[in-house]
Amino acid sequence: MSFANLALQTGMDAIVTGVNLVWVLTVTFLIFFMHAGFAMLEAGQVRSKNVANQLTKNLLTWSVGVIVFFLAGAAVSTIVGGLTGGGSYSITGAFMGLYSPEAGSVTAWTDWLFGAVFAMTAATIVSGAVAGRAKLRAYVSYTIVLAAVIYPVVVGFTWAGGFLATLGFHDFAGGMIVHGMGGLAGLTAAWIIGPRMDRFNSDGSVNVIPGHSLSFAVLGTLILAFGWYGFNVGTAAAPLAMDGGEVTLGSFSYVGRVALVTTLGMAAGAIGAAAVALQKTGKVDTLYVANGLLAGLVGITSIADAIVWPGAIVVGLLAGAQLPIVFGFVEKRLKIDDVCAVFPVHGSAGILGALLFPLFATSFWNGSASFVGLAIPQIAGVAVITAWTVGATFVVFRIIKAMGELRVSAEHEREGLDTSEHGVDTYPEFGKPDTLTDGSGVPVDGTVRTDGGINGSDDE
């Protein structure tokens, strides 16, 4: 009888572990698919002559960054967590625990991959801020440093058990750790590299340089929103657990609430941005609505596990509403050319969500925590992450700039980075007059039709 119970127990353990691992891998793949959203969102917001460059940066962010994070970044976060949090740590163990985990450790590499897709999300945010003028080698070099050191240190301070975690800093799924950090890095990088040519006039006035495809931008927005459920809901719970020999639902008691507040936050963000844009200009700007939706998601991400739906709506509205205001401030006051609005979407929205946590936390409203007790760790966490991210990014980009490798030449910038950096033309039929998709000669008047043919009497 005891042997039969033991066999059943072992079998149920295997089922629980298998279901939970499949869940983790599924949400991991969902978060990875957010790179498609970033690619489309950023490609839509740049000039047609820079689309291939932006897509290449997104591809290399993942390809280079994930290898670097595997070889160094994941271990660095563990070491920093132990060093700053007062816990035990081993440099050798941090690396070997990943490269050669114990035979019985069935989750080591799965857990690493789940962490890696978060790291690469932080890395790819920066590419949108410096679009249209950064050398590819400069961006890739920064990605290496970010994946190896800058982001892992932030994780070490927080999720890996470092001093901010000990202090009580709350960030559920990366609203500040991932998105806030990425937005701050992007703003710093855009500041150092300087604006695109013709972005600002000598009198300080601003020239609008529109992106080439709103359709791509909106498609990318919706793909990102879809993947965001992996970010928040995926972090919320493992589906199953073992309790006294019985299979029970894991921590699914609140996963529906996380999904709800995530949904309400994104919707409110779009509304908040649309309302402020309407008030400022008398029109509802499509790109503000799209980016406002994302800002709402960023604002809710760090607190989605600890608030209820009224708080989600308020935080989402505020995160969306601040977007046009902060973007205008960065553009008109700071004179920083943040091409894809990565700071107002990810940076300031992430900071806002983290700082609003004490006001909407269920622990504050049910009396189990004080407002001051919740606020101090959040303020400290935002300050530390901001100081580290801005400082480290400043140093890296200043070094690259001093080496003369940060920015493309004026000639290459006017020509477009697709040609100068990659030797391709994203839209050949709309590009140089000597290119036709059907291989035929160039018409005398240089007119190229969208189907690759030419306008002539034979076609009329």
Task: Please provide the DSSP assignment of 11-50 as one string.
Answer: HHHHHHHHHHHHHHHHHHHHHHTHHHHHHHHHHHHS-GGG
Q: Using an 8 Å Cβ cutoff, are 209 and 198 in contact? A: yes
What CATH class is the domain 20-194+208-237+250-414? mainly alpha
The Cα-based distances of 177 to 56, 232, 279, 358, 451 in angstroms read: 25, 13, 32, 17, 47
Q: Using an 8 Å Cβ cutoff, are 149 and 76 in contact? A: yes
CB atoms within 10 A of CB 177: 27
Q: Using an 8 Å Cβ cutoff, are 320 and 293 in contact? A: yes
pLDDT tens for each residue of the chain, 460 residues long? 343 443 444 577 788 888 888 889 999 999 999 999 999 999 999 999 999 999 999 999 999 999 999 999 999 999 999 999 987 777 877 777 777 777 557 788 888 999 999 999 999 999 999 999 999 999 999 999 999 999 999 999 999 999 999 999 999 999 999 999 999 999 999 999 999 999 999 888 999 999 999 999 999 999 999 999 999 998 877 777 777 777 777 666 678 889 999 999 999 999 999 999 999 999 999 999 999 999 999 999 999 999 999 999 999 999 999 999 999 999 999 999 999 999 999 999 999 999 999 999 999 999 899 999 999 999 999 999 999 999 999 999 999 999 999 999 999 999 999 999 999 989 887 655 444 444 444 444 545 444 444 444 444 4
How confident is the model at residue 253, as a pLDDT?
66
How confident is the model at residue 255, as a pLDDT?
84
How confident is the model at residue 213, as a pLDDT?
95
How confident is the model at residue 230, as a pLDDT?
92
SS3 407: strand
How confident is the model at residue 299, as a pLDDT?
98
Q: Which helix (H) or strand (E) holds 293?
A: helix 286-301
Q: Domain spans of the chain?
A: 20-194+208-237+250-414
Q: Using an 8 Å Cβ cutoff, are 156 and 78 in contact? A: yes
SS3 206: strand
The Cα-based distances of 409 to 131, 141, 415, 422 in angstroms read: 14, 18, 10, 15
How confident is the model at residue 104, as a pLDDT?
58
Mean pLDDT of the chain: 89
As a whole number of angstroms, the distance between CA 353 and CA 297 comes to 10
pLDDT tens string 149-186: 999 999 999 999 999 999 999 999 999 999 999 999 99
| Both tokens assigned to 316 | 């989402």
Question: Which of 310, 297, 308 lies closest to 352, judged by CA?
Answer: 297
Task: Indicate left, alpha or beta for 132 from its phi (over 0: left) and psi (-120 to 50: alpha).
Answer: left
pTM: 0.89
Q: Where are the alpha helices (DSSP H) in 86-146?
A: 91-99, 108-129, 136-145
Q: Would strands 246-249 and 240-243 be described as parallel, antiparallel, or unpaired?
A: antiparallel
The packing angle between helices 309-328 and 348-360, to 10°, is: 150
